[in-house]
C-alpha cells in the first residue's frame, strides 16, 4: 500500500521519544551498576509486540522495529568495566485520510521494552518510577513541533496481567506546516524482568481511536 504522505511529527516523535527513554533508563542506572564484578554485564530486553489478532481487529500494521544498544564504561576501584543494555522499540501505524493532505500513516502505537537491571537482589531502572506525565514530557522533549497539554482522562487497562492506568493528554502536532489537534496516550507496565512503556498518538478527529489504543495496549505481550 502506498501513502501520499507520512505524518512526520508522529512517526519521528515516537521513535525519538521512546529511544530517548531507552537511553534514559540506562544512563540513570550508572550509580548502581558500579557494584558489579566479574565478566562484562549485558542486560537484554525481549521484544514487546502486539498480538496479531489485535492488529487485525484494529487495522494497525507493523511499521518499524528498533534495537537500541546502550553501552557505558564504569570506573570501579581503578578498573574500567563495560556494561551493555539492549532495549527494544516496536512501532505500529494505521493509515488515515488527512483530507486535502492525502492519506498518511497518522495513527501510531508503539512499545518500548527495557530490561530490569538486577544488582545484588535489587532492581534499578529509572523508567520504573516515571509517571505517565513524565513519559509524555520526555517524548515531547524530542520533537519541537509537538506540544502536549494537560491530562484529560485516565482509564484502567490490563497490560501483561497488571491493571494500571492509561493516561490521555491533549496535544498539537504539525503535519506539512499545518497544526493538528491530537490525543496522546501513555502507560507503564512491569513484567517479570522488564518494563514496558506503551505510547499512542493520533488526530483528535478520529472517532473511536481511543478504543483501538486500549485494545493494542491490552494486546501487548512479551516475546520470549
For residue range 110-166, list pLDDT tens digits in order. Answer: 999 988 776 545 556 668 788 999 998 887 776 667 889 999 999 999 999 999 999
Q: Which residue did the predictor score with more confidence, 75 or 168?
A: 168
Number of CB atoms found within 10 A of residue 221's CB = 18
Report the C-alpha gap between 111 and 220 in whole angstroms: 8
For residue range 59-80, list pLDDT tens digits in order. Answer: 999 998 999 887 766 554 566 6
Nearest one of 83, 123, 107 to 175, comparing CA atoms: 107
Residue 179 pLDDT grade (very low, low, confident, very high; cuts 50, 70, 90)? confident
pLDDT value at position 4?
Answer: 41
Q: Which residue did the predictor score with more confidence, 29 or 169?
A: 169
Q: Which residue did the predictor score with more confidence, 18 or 2?
A: 18
Residue 51 pLDDT grade (very low, low, confident, very high; cuts 50, 70, 90)? very high
Q: Which residue did the predictor score with more confidence, 47 or 39?
A: 47
Q: Confirm whether pTM is higher than 0.95.
A: no
Amino acid at each position: 500500500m502506498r501513502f501520499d504522505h507520512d505524518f512526520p511529527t508522529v512517526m519521528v516523535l515516537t521513535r525519538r521519544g521512546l529511544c530517548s527513554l531507552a537511553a534514559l533508563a540506562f544512563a540513570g542506572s550508572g550509580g548502581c551498576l558500579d557494584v558489579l564484578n566479574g565478566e562484562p554485564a549485558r542486560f537484554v530486553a525481549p521484544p514487546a509486540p502486539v498480538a496479531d489478532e489485535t492488529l487485525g481487529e484494529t487495522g494497525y500494521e507493523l511499521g518499524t522495529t528498533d534495537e537500541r544498544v546502550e553501552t557505558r564504561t564504569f570506573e570501579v576501584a581503578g578498573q574500567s568495566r563495560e556494561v551493555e543494555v539492549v532495549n527494544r522499540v516496536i512501532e505500529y501505524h494505521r493509515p488515515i485520510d488527512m483530507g486535502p493532505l492525502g492519506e498518511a500513516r497518522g495513527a501510531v502505537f508503539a512499545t518500548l521494552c527495557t530490561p530490569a537491571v538486577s544488582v545484588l537482589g535489587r532492581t534499578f531502572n529509572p523508567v520504573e518510577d516515571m509517571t505517565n506525565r513524565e513519559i509524555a514530557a520526555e517524548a515531547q522533549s524530542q520533537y519541537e513541533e509537538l506540544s502536549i497539554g494537560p491530562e484529560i482522562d485516565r482509564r484502567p487497562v490490563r497490560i501483561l496481567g497488571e491493571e494500571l492506568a492509561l493516561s490521555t493528554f491533549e496535544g498539537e502536532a504539525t503535519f506539512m506546516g499545518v497544526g493538528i489537534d491530537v490525543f496522546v496516550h501513555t502507560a507503564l507496565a512491569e513484567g517479570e524482568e522488564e518494563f514496558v512503556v506503551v505510547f499512542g498518538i493520533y488526530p483528535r478527529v478520529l472517532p473511536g481511536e481511543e478504543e483501538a489504543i486500549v485494545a493494542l495496549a491490552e494486546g501487548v505481550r512479551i516475546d520470549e
